[in-house]
Chain A
Amino acid sequence: MKNVAIRINGSAVAPPADPRVSLLDFLRETLHLHGTKKGCNQGACGACTVLVDGERIVSCLALAVQYVGRDIVTIEGLAGQDGPHRLQQAFIEHDGFQCGYCTPGQICSAVGMAAEARRGLPSHVTDDLSARRIALTRDELRERMSGNLCRCGAHNGIIAAIAETYARAAE
């Protein structure tokens, strides 16, 4: 099973028979993991962001069958045994959402984003492209999170929640 399965939130799952099925639809319609959201189905809004081996991707542009042998974490898999992920808690405290529809994608994206910064990947607003450590300033966070759209206008709360969770840790 291991070599022909997709690992999703720690569980091995057989891939869909229909190769057209996106990873997003596989999560939502087959596995009933509805936490991953469909906002545009064309990679423009980020609501479907999940983590693959720790990297963030938009699952609407990914075919599920391509992810055999990979490790997927969705919003449902972020919380640990001892409660919610600290970023999830920060989103509540900083009011980083209104309707809650873009929220799982924002949170998963932020987890992946923080890992990118830890690896030293620069962004459009990074001054020193050769820096080994990226300081997650507000501008860095805003640039790196710009692939995740929010229409309610909770942007300030989202960035505040991410800053509290990751900016201090990265400095």
Chain B
Amino acid sequence: MSNVEGSGRPTQHEGAAQQDTSLTRRGVLGIFGAAGAGALVSTFTGPPGVGPVSLVSEAAPEVLVQRGSGWVGAALSRIDGPLKVRGMARFAAEFALDDMVYAALVFSTIAKGRIATLDTGAAEAAPGFVLVMTHRNAPRMQPMVPFGPNEKAAGNDNLPIMQDDRVRWNGQPIAVVLAETQEQADHAASLIRVTYEAEPATTSFAQAKANGTEGAVYFHHEIGDAEAELAAAAVSVDATYRTPYQNHNAIEPHAVTVAWHGDELVVHDASQSVVHNAWSLAHILGIEERQVHVTSPYVGGAFGGKFMGSHQVLAAAAARLAGRPVRLTLSREGVYRMVGGRALTEQRMAIGARRDGRFDAIIHTGTATHTRDSPHPEAFPFVSLSAYATGSLKTDLQWAFLDQVANAAMRAPGEAVGSFALESAVDEVAVALGMDPIELRIRNEPKTDPLNGAEFSSRNVVKAWRDGAERFGWAKRNPIPGAVRKGEWLVGMGCGTASHIYNRENGGAARLTLTSDGTVTVDIATHDAGMGTETAQTQIIAENLALHPDQVEFRLADSAMPGLVAGRGSSQTTTVAATVVEAKKMLVAELLTLIRADSPLAGLTAQQVGPRNAGLAKLDDPTRHETYTAILTRAKRDKVTVEASPDEPTEMNERSMHSYGAMFCEVRVNAVTGETRVSRMLGSMDCGRVINPKTAASQFRGGMIMAMGLALTEHTHYDERTGRIMNPSLAEYHIPVHLDVPEIDVIWTGIPDPHAPMGARGIGELSVTGTAAAIANAIYNATGKRIRELPITLDKLM
């Protein structure tokens, strides 16, 4: 079965729930999964390699893939669409509060040292001036707690925030100016004069490597003697691949509107972690968590860049000093100065193969830039752990430490850039063998996880390859590089495997309220920065409770709601879906306590009934049915409320769980100018059940377009002399625009994962992986030029 995007009708999946495998090994992948992609911390001290065997559960497994009302799988248009197309969705910088003042920031212009003089006199005399906050008068505050063992931490560093005269990176905020209008604040901030005592800083990658790197033990793996196997291999590739700094560049800049009401802080945030941010602000400011209320109903893109940041802290502190509400919106430049992005990587990628194509060695090692404080590892070797069957494997990740803004998680951190190296190298091996690159991949398809032998929960990447190749017309590809030319355009096709680890977070919790009019409200502190959370979860709730989506209200992104579900690691849908399934069970049990003797459901147990047609029915006799409204009315109840938390996520500890994709690309490269144009793309995905074909297709395309930028245009230029970002601007940092983006085809296997809630694995980051390599491989096929350094700009092809 292959579901083509846009088929539109509610579908019923025939996939019967499989029985859980009895006992599998808890491997290192499970540890990563629990931490969330990009959420690993440098303080992590877990065991390298395979962890201990654990007896997880001997109880009968929950049947996770269920037949329902058909709303799951329906191409529902976004529920928030009518608000968004009218400009009525209110973002963080769009709350106007009485007596509010505007903030402007001053950023350091050196990378390391101390502030020698800081003259704010002219600023204080400027029209509209209200307050200037510097390290001299900022309230005493704790640093942020970075992502890590503390489940509510969501910081990107643990540096003091305006607490001393030290400068730790070029672009660090050193003053906040408040004024009556934004214009006045900007003008006053421009009048602040600063001098520094600069100290030697590490601002070049070469210097950072020369200073000595440190290894991340939990990404070091060795199976067999990979170096010896590589040396003895009949065919081998051993090359260095490089990827640059990049920034998220959500179109909405980071913004926050804050107000103190006595000792309580209200925060209108642009966030993918509202509960984390409430906890973080309380911790930093020295107040109780319940004194901070963070909401973020609409977020103008996040991509890993909108967790806890210092801008929220500065706004809250300045508001407290001024005694007035504060709006702090980062300028576009400010986003670059204060919020890090992808780290720079230099990767050694080696594959040794036999003449028949089977891999005897995979080596994926190298160095990523890092700061001492960043919790985000940019773990590029991760992608090579579970990709291919191999006789031997070696992975290693070294960090080179620079004095720069802490690098952050950017959509598919590690895997986006690591898959560029891996999937390019696989293509190079295919060329060396004279073998089709798809057949080479299929020949090395593993039966169990290559790292620890764990069973795959559901892996159908071979089907994705076959379906995709047929749909894309791969058979028409000329394998000889540079052989297809149309006028001055060289045409080529390439491909690459996408994969992203499955995650479900531990903090799922929901409050579900069913009212006697037959409508249900579900509150979960989760997030929608464009992923379609609200729409997909409304469908999941409607399916589980046998309601129409119009009868469901899904509310999210409020720290006062239950749940601790950050928008990270492609985990929201699975985490929330598991919570909804649990809430349904509790609701059914609760409703049964209200059943009276004259009800058609009288005498039935929770095992015998389930939701059907806006009520409950006996599973094997649907004529014994009573609507929710009738049940509540009969019991003289206005509403029933349950609060639910699902079982701990153990499914990914017991087995190897990933989403996959076969990514195809056709490029045209101008033989005269070196200009690359992507003329066609196809993503053939294997991601379990698709909740909403319309929004999922957009997610897949969005990831492929971000990877197009990764491959061809995106590059944060970092001046290695000064440590300053030189293109902090959407004019000079080039994300793909409409003319760059062809119509992108997406299909999927539609095979539900029997071990994932609702049969669905994550999709948010998947298609950023594999795609950059597919583009680079297509460029090789078009031109015969193997470019191993991103972005592949014109100069590299001339």
Contact = CB atoms under 8 A, between A and B. Distances in A.
Given A38-B253, A98-B698, A156 B741 contact: yes
B411 to A, nearest CB: 10
24 contacts: A18-B183, A25-B182, A28-B94, A29-B96, A36-B87, A39-B252, A39-B332, A40-B332, A42-B332, A42-B730, A76-B87, A99-B250, A99-B299, A102-B300, A141-B738, A142-B741, A145-B738, A146-B740, A149-B730, A151-B303, A154-B701, A155-B701, A157-B698, A159-B738
A137 B252 CA distance: 30
B409 interface: no
Contact of B332 (A41, A78, A84, A142): A41
Interface in A39-79: 39-45, 47, 74-76, 78-79
Interface residues of B, number: 63
Nearest to B298: A100
B300 A101 contact: yes
**Which one of A40, A79, A91, A157 has the greatest number of beta carbons of chain B within 10 Å?**
A40
Contacts of B249: 151
A142 B679 CA distance: 13
A20 B529 CA distance: 32
B85 A88 contact: yes
Contact of B82 (A92, A139, A158): A92
A44 B80 contact: no
Interface in A115-171: 125, 138-139, 141-143, 145-159
Nearest to B77: A92
A45 B741 contact: no
A115 to B, nearest CB: 18
Interface stretch (B152-160, B456-464, B703-711): B703-711
Contacts of A158: 738
A42 B333 CA distance: 10
Given A99-B251, A104-B87, A151-B251, A92 B701 contact: no
Given A47-B251, A151-B301, A98 B81 contact: no
Contacts of B470: none
Given A42-B729, A151-B251, A76 B300 contact: no
B439 to A, nearest CB: 30
Interface of B: 77-78, 80-91, 93-94, 96, 181-183, 187, 248-253, 298-303, 329, 331-332, 529-532, 694-695, 697-699, 701-706, 729-731, 735-741, 743-744
Contact of B251 (A21, A28, A102, A159): A102
Contact of B737 (A39, A76, A125, A146): A146
Interface of A: 18, 20-21, 25, 28-29, 32-45, 47, 74-76, 78-79, 84, 88-89, 91-93, 95, 97-104, 107, 125, 138-139, 141-143, 145-159
A138 B529 CA distance: 28
B86 A76 contact: yes
Contacts of A21: 181, 183
Nearest to B745: A156
Given A32-B96, A156-B701, A97 B332 contact: no
A155 B94 contact: no
Nearest to A74: B87
B182 A29 contact: yes
A153 B251 contact: no
B709 to A, nearest CB: 9
A41 B331 contact: yes
Contacts of B705: 153, 155
Given A29-B182, A88-B86, A153-B703, A98 B531 contact: yes
A114 B85 CA distance: 18
